[in-house]
């Protein structure tokens, strides 16, 4: 169905998927996961209209790129060439810049009752990034799980870091400070005042960042989490009130755990901690951090990754 029309005249489609007790809706704008219902409860933060997504979204449900997360100073050097990106997060470039993949209309390549594939071509120089990049994302519902598959290919050396920016609330409302989180990660990335990694992979043991055993989001640190973890395994989130649990597995080396503390309830319909994000990805600022896993993609290579969100009964 047609969800709306952009000022440019481009039409935005909305497609519904279902499998077992899961239902989902995906928009061609931003490849947004608009809704994800588990047993009739929508567990992601959603907006009702295209106008809302244009003006009131904080990347709700979107696929972000070309580079998810922050790049320090909005610049990096690749093969001895310096590239400069738009600054949209203080001194940094965040989630691909001022007009990232979250604000593009993706092509619907294939759609069935339980899966949809969308594609986007980002031209050379788009938001300052080199190379023409072709990206795809596939959402698949299978029983009690949602799987997201990503691919990327380029015609010139570039950097890429794709992720989904859904905010989860397993209660379908209220805040997530009581949600209990476990992250199988013995290390995390400390950041400076601009939220750029210092380069250290620090142990979580003995800190408020230790989620190797389950803790409620609001139990420590006032729930002010917006940090990348070096994954050793999977993640779980449980809402004790409803008993609903989400299990997350990924092929990516890290996850940005963001507890929604910067949602303000004014510019968006949601207040602080209305949802939490587990953005599976490579590390922030990797193009400027040679000791981090590389995010460089070259011609002839195909970058793939997958993340699965499972809701066991």
User: One of 13, 153, 252, 279 is an active-site residue; which one?
Assistant: 279
Does residue 179 carry a catalytic annotation?
no
Contacts of 155 (CB under 8 A, 6+ apart): 124, 131, 132, 299
Q: Establish how many alpha carbons lie within 13 A of residue 122's alpha carbon, considering only the half-sphere containing its beta carbon.
A: 32
| CB contact burial 138-170 (16+ within 10 A = b; e otherwise) | bbbbeebbbbbbbbbbbeeebbbbbbbbbbbbb
Q: Find, among 65, 45, 68, 47, the residue nearest to 4 by Cα.
A: 47
CA angle at 206 for the pair 200 and 208, rounded to the nearest 5°? 80
Q: Find, among 98, 100, 108, the residue nearest to 12 by Cα.
A: 108
Residue pair 304/86 in contact by the 8 Å Cβ criterion = no
Please report, to the nearest 10 degrees, the dihedral formed by the alpha carbons of residues 220, 233, 311, 150 taken in order: 110
Does residue 84 carry a catalytic annotation?
no
Q: Find, among 133, 236, 244, the residue nearest to 185 by Cα.
A: 236
User: One of 95, 165, 227, 282 is an active-site residue; which one?
Assistant: 165
Catalytic positions: 165, 279
């Amino acid at each position: 169905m047609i969800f709306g029309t952009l000022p440019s005249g481009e039409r935005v489609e909305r497609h519904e998927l279902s499998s077992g007790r899961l239902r989902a809706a995906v928009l061609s704008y931003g490849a947004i996961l608009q809704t994800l219902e588990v047993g009739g409860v929508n567990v992601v933060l959603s907006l009702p209209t295209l106008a809302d997504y244009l003006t009131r979204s904080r990347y709700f449900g979107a696929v972000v790129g070309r580079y998810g997360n922050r790049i320090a100073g909005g610049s990096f050097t690749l093969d001895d060439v310096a590239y400069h990106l738009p600054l949209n997060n203080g001194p940094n470039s965040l989630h691909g810049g001022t007009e990232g993949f979250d604000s593009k209309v993706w092509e619907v390549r294939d759609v069935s009752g339980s899966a949809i594939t969308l594609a986007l071509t980002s031209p050379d120089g788009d938001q300052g990034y080199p190379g023409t990049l072709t990206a795809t994302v596939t959402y698949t519902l299978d029983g009690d799980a949602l799987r997201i598959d990503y691919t990327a290919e380029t015609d010139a050396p570039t950097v890429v870091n794709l992720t989904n920016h859904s905010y989860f609330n397993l209660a379908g409302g209220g805040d997530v400070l009581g949600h209990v989180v476990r992250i199988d990660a013995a290390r995390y990335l400390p950041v400076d005042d601009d939220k750029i990694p210092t380069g250290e992979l620090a142990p979580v043991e003995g800190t408020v960042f230790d989620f190797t055993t389950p803790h409620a989001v609001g139990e420590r640190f006032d729930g002010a989490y917006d940090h990348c973890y070096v994954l050793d395994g999977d993640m779980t989130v449980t809402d004790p009130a409803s008993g609903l649990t989400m299990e997350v597995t990924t092929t990516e080396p890290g996850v940005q755990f963001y507890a929604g503390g910067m949602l303000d309830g004014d510019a968006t319909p949601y207040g602080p901690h209305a949802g939490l994000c587990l953005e599976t990805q490579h590390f922030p600022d990797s193009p400027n951090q040679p000791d981090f896993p590389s995010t460089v993609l070259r011609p002839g290579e195909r970058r793939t990754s997958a993340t699965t969100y499972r809701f066991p009964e």
